[in-house]
Chains A and B, each alone.
Chain A
Amino acid sequence: MTDRALEGMKVLDLTHHLSGPYCTKLLADFGADVLKVEKPAGDHTRRAGPFLEDDIDPEKSLVFAYLNTNKQSITLNLKSDKGISMLTSLIEESDVLVENFAPRVMPSLGLDFETLQQINPRLILTSISNFGQTGPYRDYKAADIIEYAMGGLMYISGAYDREPLKHAFNQAQFKAGTDGASATLMAMYHQRLTGEGQHVDVSIQEAVATGLRDVVNNFTYTGAVRRRQPNHSGDLSRLRASSDGHLIPNPGIGAGLNWDVMVDFMGIPELGGDKFNTPSARLVNAEELGQILDNYFIKQNKYERFYAAHEKRFIFGVVQSPSEVMADPQFEARNFFVDIAHPSLGTLKYPGAPFEMSKTPWAARSPAPTLGQHNQEIIGKKLGHTREELAQMRADSII
């Protein structure tokens, strides 16, 4: 019995940057065989920081190392006939081809979906792109910030009195990568039952626009356009500064809050009495309440309050710095960070399983491949090319 959920699933990975590689990483980490096809110069994420000790070496990009665990790498120049013909041989025996080029690229390489179907009718083509394969923005350029803005998340994020603000780094790309992996498996499920392949079109803009509670519905239900929220200092769910960082002292959701227990927990007598003990009283005296809470929490230790609150079942949260995340006792108990040994990076701790599966666990079977690490094995042995032919292909910039 296998302990790999996606055992036997063969994925040809033409992706680069972040969204596509995260999609194929999820597939690889849960057991699919993923063959990464890089252009001879390599996925440009190899040249993106941060690097180990700031050493700008294509084998030392930390994000590349994270995104490409459990994959094999070959290089192929897809602008050469030879490169395309070798790719075609690989397509014949794959279940899935994942790509995240601009939508015009695959057809320009002669790899439109219809052609791929003729090569292999079982093949699933998963295409992840900024705005999808159709529509007026199809060829628009984007970066994570553009997707945030055009997916509707940016307008409601940030401070009321300031410019809209995006999350740090590349959340839109990771959303689309996850969605791409899910949709690929839906198509695989159908393929396993019927033998039919299909084209899966994933849009990063839509990945963002799918996860916006209330935004569009506020408009369709009431005509209201929601915006970034003002800093209502009395809001109990607001972030507050502590002596050592920030915490989210949210006492509870909805009407279940027992104010007296809360007042007792914080030990602030001024909060007692009628002034703050109902939601409407707290609204009327919000400014004063906010002041009292700010003055209280700034003197507190965030973890001390976090643990004490959970004893009372208040759902407090803490903002953790990267060092605190890595020392988090919950993550430690769940072995979230795992050691992975890599030839150029040495052994480092990586974020591990995004979730746990009891019978088919997440596993780091191999580190990210070096560029073209599996050329010999795949192009040589599998596709039947001699060492001399490989040397010639290298000289001709095909691999």
Chain B
Amino acid sequence: MQGPLAGVRIIEMGQLIAIPFSMKMLADMGAQVIRLESTGRLESYRSDSVYKNDISGEFWNKGANFYEQNRNKLGVTLDLSRPEGLGILKELIRVSDVFSENFTPRVIKNFGLEYEDIRKIKPDIIMVSSTGYGFYGPWANYGATGPATEGAAGLAYQTGYTDRDAPVMSEIPYTDYTSGEHTVFAVMAALMHRLSTGQGQFVDISQTQATSATIPEILMDYSANGRTGNRMGNQDTVMSPHGCYPCQGDDRWITIAVSNNQEWQTLCNVLRQGDWASNSRFEDDLSRWQNRDELDGLIGTVTHSWDAHELMTALQSAGVAAGVVMDSQDLLFDPHLVERNFYEVVSHHDSTGIPPLPYAGRPWKLSRTPAVKGMPAPLMGQHNSLILENMLGKTSEEVKALEESGIIGYGPTTPRPVQRPPMDEQIRQGRMQRFESDFEEQVKRTFPA
């Protein structure tokens, strides 16, 4: 299988998530993505969350986040602070369709890698820059994290518990994904345009802007009515009950959303609460919504004695929207996702000691042009000679010289592993909920290599 994007070559000068995640999605669908790395400035995802928390050996080839974000890519190391390194990057751009990066504009300008520079090398290149606030404008050079842009975009403001003052931020770099999803679309739109006109162009992704585009409920209401809402908790603006309720066990929860009277009656029936069904305070959509705090409290007292999965099945079979709040183990072994082959088992290089492992796939399936078979993220410098010799026509002597002068390399110049605390300490600190000592067998059972 080649994937629909076979023949598209992308150079990625990415870091962490925003660009690496989006380029992975394109690589999965057949684009050839060549990822640049620096041996001097080690990407933190290479050395964090390493397999079995074991930082011995080449720990930089064992990081979970790196493998997650860089599947199906080729890897080349280049020292861009030296003219030879920068020169090789420009040679690569000359034979590519897309150049993508997520550094601050200041860095890109210092390297002389703005769109106006690189279109001179490759006139029909598509260049994609992803930054916190956009490539131009007064905040252009402000560095950003996911929480910063989640706050700036207006998404955080209404997210939070109704009875607490502070907004609640995501515990992942959420806007990297929101903007990354838009980046995939943007690259595809630019490729479509190039297919019909032969023209390249510059795509300027502001992680904040892409996120603001997904909250019209908030921004249109302010724009039209001057209204600002409160922190919403898990409530909806019309539905009730609509929330997250405790179930049997430690930190187990279910979500339920009821959109009409019939579903309400069904919910009462499944939970065996005839009193609620006939209570006039809950008799229609409006009264249930007005009394939602009381109702949410009542429901929690009953769901508490249910197993979350059993309650989900009971409610869904009867026609009420309900879903278990899945933890990572539920999610990985979810029979629905497993049956849909959502997870993709990737085999790692022998030198890493990592067995074949499942990784999240994609939210789409294309019936005629499915994704390519998963290849693991590159070891550091793994494809140096492949790319320099086969693609750029350098001799093996030239490659050796580049290696000797430190322009390319196969490991970090200053290795600094990150040792996470032992698992029981992480659990004590509350950073993890629990630890399953037989996780390897569990994974192998459901996802044989």
Contacts and interface: CB of A to CB of B under 8 A. Distances in A.
B59 interface: no
Interface in B361-387: 361-369
A367 interface: no
Given A158-B168, A325-B154, A206 B190 contact: no
Contacts of B220: 50, 62-63, 65-66, 348, 350-351
Given A53-B225, A220-B332, A317-B149, A246 B210 contact: no
Interface string B316-352: 1001111111111111101111011011000000000
A360 B222 contact: no
Contact of B369 (A145, A187, A210): A187
Given A6-B192, A333-B137, A176 B340 contact: no
A296 B177 CA distance: 32
Query: Could you say which of B181, B196, B361 has the most chain A C-beta atoms within 10 Å of its C-beta?
Result: B181
Interface in A217-247: 217-230, 232, 237, 239, 241, 246-247
Contact of A219 (B139, B180, B332, B369): B332
Given A227-B251, A227-B433, A356-B134, A147 B323 contact: yes
Given A143-B259, A189-B5, A320-B154, A220 B171 contact: no
B189 A6 contact: yes
A209 interface: yes
A157 B171 contact: yes
B225 A246 contact: no
A221 B342 contact: no
Contact of A317 (B67, B147, B210, B432): B147
B212 A336 contact: yes
B277 to A, nearest CB: 19
Contacts of B339: 134-136
Contact of A155 (B205, B224, B326): B326
A322 B429 contact: no
Contact of A239 (B140, B147, B154, B200): B147
A287 to B, nearest CB: 13
A250 B245 CA distance: 33
A68 to B, nearest CB: 11
B224 A348 contact: yes
B218 A322 contact: yes
A22 B215 CA distance: 11
Given A182-B184, A219-B332, A319-B156, A159 B316 contact: no
Query: Could you say which of A145, A204, A337 has the most chain B C-beta atoms within 10 Å of its C-beta?
Result: A145
Interface string B352-365: 00000111111111
Q: Is the interface of B mostly helix, strand, loop or mixed?
A: mixed
Interface in A183-198: 183, 185-190, 192-193, 196-198
A211 B171 CA distance: 12
B41 to A, nearest CB: 10
Contact of B68 (A54, A180, A217): A217
Query: Could you say which of B339, B361, B427, B437 has the most chain A C-beta atoms within 10 Å of its C-beta?
Result: B339
A225 B181 contact: no
A215 B244 contact: no
Contacts of A11: none
Nearest to A231: B430
Given A142-B321, A218-B328, A319 B151 contact: yes
Contact of B223 (A2, A160, A248, A350): A350
A142 B431 CA distance: 30
A180 B170 CA distance: 24
Interface in B259-277: 259
Contacts of A213: 17, 65, 68, 172-173
A373 B41 CA distance: 57
Interface residues of B, number: 174
Contacts of B215: 168-169, 351
B172 A211 contact: yes
B449 interface: no
B209 A165 contact: no
A320 B185 contact: no
A211 B177 contact: yes
Interface string B147-180: 1111111111111110011111111111001111
Nearest to B362: A210
Contact of B244 (A53, A154, A322, A353): A154
A135 B336 contact: yes
B216 interface: yes
Given A223-B437, A360-B201, A146 B321 contact: yes
A182 B157 contact: no
Contact of A355 (B205, B342, B362): B205
Contacts of A150: 323-324, 326, 334
A206 B362 contact: yes
Given A179-B181, A317-B152, A159 B193 contact: no
A185 B29 CA distance: 12
B391 to A, nearest CB: 23
B152 A320 contact: yes
Contact of A148 (B204, B214, B223, B255): B255
A97 interface: no
B204 A356 contact: yes
A146 B147 contact: no
Given A155-B327, A159-B161, A185-B189, A203 B363 contact: yes
A141 B369 contact: no
Given A182-B185, A315-B145, A221 B64 contact: yes
B172 A156 contact: yes
A227 to B, nearest CB: 4
A330 B138 contact: yes
A289 interface: no
B188 A185 contact: yes
Contacts of B245: 163
A355 B182 contact: yes
A356 B65 contact: no
B358 A220 contact: yes
Contact of B64 (A62, A165, A178, A217): A217
25 contacts: A145-B255, A150-B334, A153-B172, A163-B253, A168-B215, A174-B178, A175-B177, A180-B364, A182-B188, A199-B367, A205-B337, A211-B181, A212-B360, A220-B443, A222-B435, A223-B437, A225-B434, A237-B147, A239-B169, A250-B147, A255-B416, A320-B153, A321-B154, A334-B134, A349-B223
Given A333-B136, A348-B224, 4 more contacts: A141-B320, A167-B174, A223-B439, A318-B148
Across the A-B interface, give the 10 residue pairs with the lowest CB-CB distance, nearest first.
A317-B148, A223-B439, A211-B177, A185-B188, A322-B222, A183-B364, A143-B257, A227-B433, A198-B368, A230-B430
